[in-house]
Amino acid sequence: MMRIVLFCSLFLFSLIPTYAQVLHYVMWSEEKLDSTKLAQVVRDTVDGEIVYSVPSDLLSGKYKYIYFPCFFDKNAQYFHWDSWLIDGRYYLLFTPMQMVLFSHHENPNPNWVYWVAHISKEQYELLRKAGPIPFDDYLLEKNKPYLYKNFTKLLKRINRKMGDHPFYIPTKKEFEEAGVVTLNPDF
């Protein structure tokens, strides 16, 4: 009997939507897609390889969304950490042309792009040759957001392997003033 009550309680609790799910429903059910606010992915060739990137002004406030299905391509180097606060994880992705910080979920919660910066070919090659850079001591986000702290902590760790070509670390003010853009929204 106890098992049945526990199962029913867990089942009913799982039907209660999270705040993020409600926000996602409200945001997308009442808002019509404005195609003028949709950023276009840029397709380039670097050393004979096709490389996709986001527009350099993606977080300028000009755009609201970007559809970018190829973040995890074979040329990308990426790091990630979990976040209970967003019920997902954050990824710091490096392509031969850019550094992109974004969130990702295996659920209906919206994904966001938080930071974009161009990188040099030398930086990308140094990162590829750097070998593993562990990042398992991130600050766990349970009740308080630590996105900026974890982002800069990871960049500082990566920069230790970058010699004379470190990645730029934005100030907290620069980071907070950058707009965010919805990544791969459900249209």
Task: State the pLDDT confidence band at 3, using cuts at 50, 70 and 90.
Answer: very low
- pLDDT-derived band at 187 (thresholds 50, 70, 90) equals low
In a domain, 8, yes or no: no
Positive or negative CA dihedral for 3, 9, 12, 16? negative
Q: Bridge partners of 52?
A: 43
Expressed as residue numbers, the domain containing 109 is: 35-183
Q: What is the pLDDT of residues 102-128, one digit of tens each?
A: 999 888 888 999 999 999 999 999 999
- Evaluate whether residue 103 is within a structural domain: yes
Which residue did the predictor score with more confidence, 28 or 60? Answer: 60
The answer to whether position 22 is within a domain reads no
For residue 30, tell me if it sits in a domain: no
Residues in the chain: 187
Question: pLDDT confidence of 47, banded at 50, 70, 90?
Answer: confident
DSSP letter (8 states) at residue 36 = G
Tell me if 7 is assigned to some domain.
no
Could you tell me the pTM of the whole model?
0.78
Number of domains comprising the chain: 1
